[in-house]
Every structure is written in C-alpha cells, then in structure tokens.
Amino acid sequence: MKTIAVLAAALALGTVPAYAAEQPSLEEIAVQAQTYLERAQGELARSQADLDNASATAAAVERQAADSAAASAAAERAAADAHAEAARWRTSLGGSGRMVFEALPYGKAGLAGTADSLPQLLSAVSMLDRLTEGTRRSTAAATERAEQASRTAERARQDAGTLARQRDQALARRSEAQRRRDTAAELVTGGEQYLQEVLRRLVLSVQQELQQQGGGARPDGTAVPGAAGTAVRFALAQLGKPYVWGAEGPAAYDCSGLVLAAYHAAGLALPRTSAEQSQVGTAVPRDQVRAGDLVFYYQPVSHVAIALDGQHAVHAPTVGRPVQVAAIDAIGPLTVIRRIG
C-alpha cells in the first residue's frame, strides 16, 4: 500500500509533457492530498473503533465459550456418575431376594418344609417385599436422576456448540476488523508521505519561481537576518497546508494564525487577530517592503500576509485555498505594512 502511495505521488508530481491536458497546480494537488489524508485518518479512526468493539466482543464470547465448555464437561461427568449410581441400584435390586433367602436359618440347605419353618418363610417374604420396594424406589429415583443428568448434559453440549460457533464468528469479525484497520493505517502512512512530498516540491517550486523573478535573490529566508528570516522560513515550510478559521497550526492555519506561529518560531509573541497585529511594529511604505514585513488588507483590517520580498507574500487565504504565495498587490486592497522587531 505504501508503494502504491509513493507511485501515486510520483505520477502526480512527475514532469508534465507540453502536449498534456491542463494539469492541476501543486497548490491544488496539495489540497487534494490533504483531503485524501483527512479521509484516510477518518477511516483509520472508524476502523480502530470497529476493531476495539470486535476485540471486546470476541474476548467476551471466548470467555463464555470456555465457561460453557467447562459446564458441558461437568454435566457429562455428572451424567456418568448418575448412570453408574442407577446401575448399582439395579444390581442391588436383583440381589435383594438372595440376601434375604441366605439370611434364613436353613436358607443355604433348603427349608425343611415343617410347620416351624412357615413363620420364618412368611417373615422372609415380608422382609423381601419391604426391601425390594425400597430398592425399587431408590433404583427408579437413581434412574430418573441419570436421565435428567443426561438431558442436562445434552443441553450443555448444545449450548457449548452454539457458543463455540459464536466465538468463531466473533474471531472472524475481529480478524476482518484488524485487516481493515491495518489497511487504513497504511493509507494514512501513504497519505502522509504523499502530502509531505507535495509540500516539499511546492516549496521548491515557489522558491525557484521567486528566485527567477528576483534576478537570483534567495527568497527562502536564508539571506534574511534575525526574526524576519526565521518567520519567512517557517511560513514557507507551511505551504500547501489547509486554511481553517481559528487554526494556529501545525496542521492548518488561518491568516493571523500563520503569522502568529511564524513569529512565535522566531521567539516573538504577537497578538492573535490581524487587526491587533496591524498595530504592532513600525509602519513602512509600500516601496520599502522587505522579507518578514507584515502586509495587512481591507478596511477594517481583516487579512494579513508575510512579505517574501518587495513583490510576493505568503499567506493563508481562505476556506478551500491552502497556504500559498501570491503577489502582494493581488491579495486584496492593501491597508498598512508593519515591520516587526
């Protein structure tokens, strides 16, 4: 994805043949790159939120599935124990008569058939009936418990199976959310690289154009001393960044926010609004403008630019137009020029 972004930048910024259709300016490309980056950042934020939700859901379902599997295993063990108990009672029921018979005085040798033996036989039969009935009830109860345990185990198996499927689905959704988040992160990285390359070329283009128009003078601020030079260099480094009312950087600026940030970088504190800034420093005539001077427009003052030389200035124009260089006299009706420091 990064390779695609770099390739897109190379194609967009490559040399345009003379016969090609009208191409967008670097300023327009910068606006498009900034818009693309903001959209990618928005998608990254959304995909990260989706990933967080999917991860939380998957973790919860995994815990439920593990608990359900443990409950199913416990139910299986309980059912096995209940069936074993029922089997023991059934075995006990079959042995009850033999136990009573062998308890008689002549049980092992056989009853003599005398009158004396009859009461013992009747007593044994009565005992056998009582013992058999108790054993039968216990056997029936154990069998019912075993069947109930089997039904419970079956429900537990079904619940565990359902939760296992839900777990697999949640993990799949988490994997998909992770993939989308990673893709969005790559788009943001590529967008940042693309925008930085656009801005770098935009700065170089402006500097070259100004140098050609100025007969070889350096418009990048390197030859301008003191705070003015620092402010010019800072402002030029912001070329292509979007205009946002009230913004003071570093991602976006309005006109006075750019001036404020530029001179702050030079160690000087200026007022926030263009009207207030127009009261700072020393007034200079139009024919004496030099790099670093602040050029104010409209009456009352509502816009400001930073002069690069006697003919050009850098400024944050308005919504939809990024920080750019323009002819001083083309920006608007000039009100006053102030020199700072």
CATH number (domain holding residue 242): 3.90.1720.10
Hey, CA dihedral for 169, 173, 178, 179, is it positive or negative? positive
Q: Are residues 27 and 150 in the same domain?
A: yes
Domain of 296, in residue numbers: 216-339
Q: Are residues 282 and 323 in the same domain?
A: yes
**Which residue, of 164, 187, 210, is where some domain finishes?**
210
Whole-model pTM above 0.85? no
Q: Which of 83, 264, 312, 315 is catalytic?
A: 315
- pLDDT tens-digit profile, the chain (341 residues): 443 444 344 434 443 343 345 677 777 787 788 788 889 989 999 999 999 999 999 999 899 889 888 988 888 888 788 788 878 877 866 555 555 555 555 444 444 444 455 566 555 555 555 656 666 787 787 678 878 878 887 888 898 899 899 999 999 999 999 999 999 999 998 988 887 788 778 777 766 766 665 544 444 444 566 888 899 999 998 988 899 999 999 999 999 999 999 999 999 999 999 999 999 999 999 999 998 999 999 999 999 999 988 888 999 999 888 898 888 999 999 999 999 97
Q: Which of 83, 255, 264, 312 is catalytic?
A: 255
Catalytic residue status for 255: yes
Q: Are residues 68 and 188 in the same domain?
A: yes
pLDDT at position 293 is 96
**Which residue, of 171, 186, 210, is where some domain finishes?**
210
Catalytic residue status for 312: no
CATH of the domain at 63: 1.10.287
- 238, 323 in Cβ contact below 8 A? yes
Does residue 300 have a cis peptide bond before it, meaning omega lies within 30 degrees of 0? Answer: yes
pLDDT at position 197 is 85
pLDDT at position 287 is 94
pLDDT at position 24 is 79
Q: Are residues 186 and 225 in the same domain?
A: no
For the chain, what is the domain count?
A: 2
Which class for 184: exposed (0-12), middle (13-18), buried (19 or more C-beta within 10 A)?
buried
Closest CA relative to residue 306, chosen from 246, 224, 244 = 224
Catalytic residue status for 83: no
